[in-house]
Amino acid sequence: MGQADALLFSYGTLQLESVQLRQFGRRLDGSDDVLHGYGVIEITIRDPDVLEASGIETHLALVPDANAPPLPGKVFHLTAQELAAADIYESENYRRVEAALASGARAWVYLKA
């Protein structure tokens, strides 16, 4: 495995062991953190690979919302190859942006596309 060079904040299915094993070939170790400035909505997933990995048709997605409550999640250290695998998993439903977390760290996060 390559050197971990990316931080990814997860608030949803990337925290599931089944998804991690399928997408990254390993269970990820994460640390707790919080994201501010985004609200959570639900979207319906149609990608068969994502449905098979998560087993869930309704996923969470973020939208900018300055009045939303703080969102707890996990920060994972990923290699560039693992970040690319996360992009594939998130597919056309999401776009990846960098955001500041409550800890002061900057991490990638997936927003609703």
Assign 21 a pLDDT band (cuts: 50, 70, 90): very high
Q: Would the pTM count as exceeding 0.85?
A: yes
In a domain, 35, yes or no: yes
pLDDT tens readout for residues 41-90: 998 888 888 878 888 888 889 999 999 999 999 999 999 999 999 999 88
**Total domains present in the chain:** 1
Indicate which CATH number applies to the domain containing 39: 3.10.490.10
In single-letter form, the type of residue at position 108 comes to: W
Report the C-alpha gap between 92 and 97 in whole angstroms.
14
- Residue 36's domain comprises 6-112
- List Cβ neighbours of 7 (8 Å cut-off, separation of 6 or more): 75, 76, 77, 78, 105, 106, 107, 108
In a domain, 1, yes or no: no
In a domain, 17, yes or no: yes
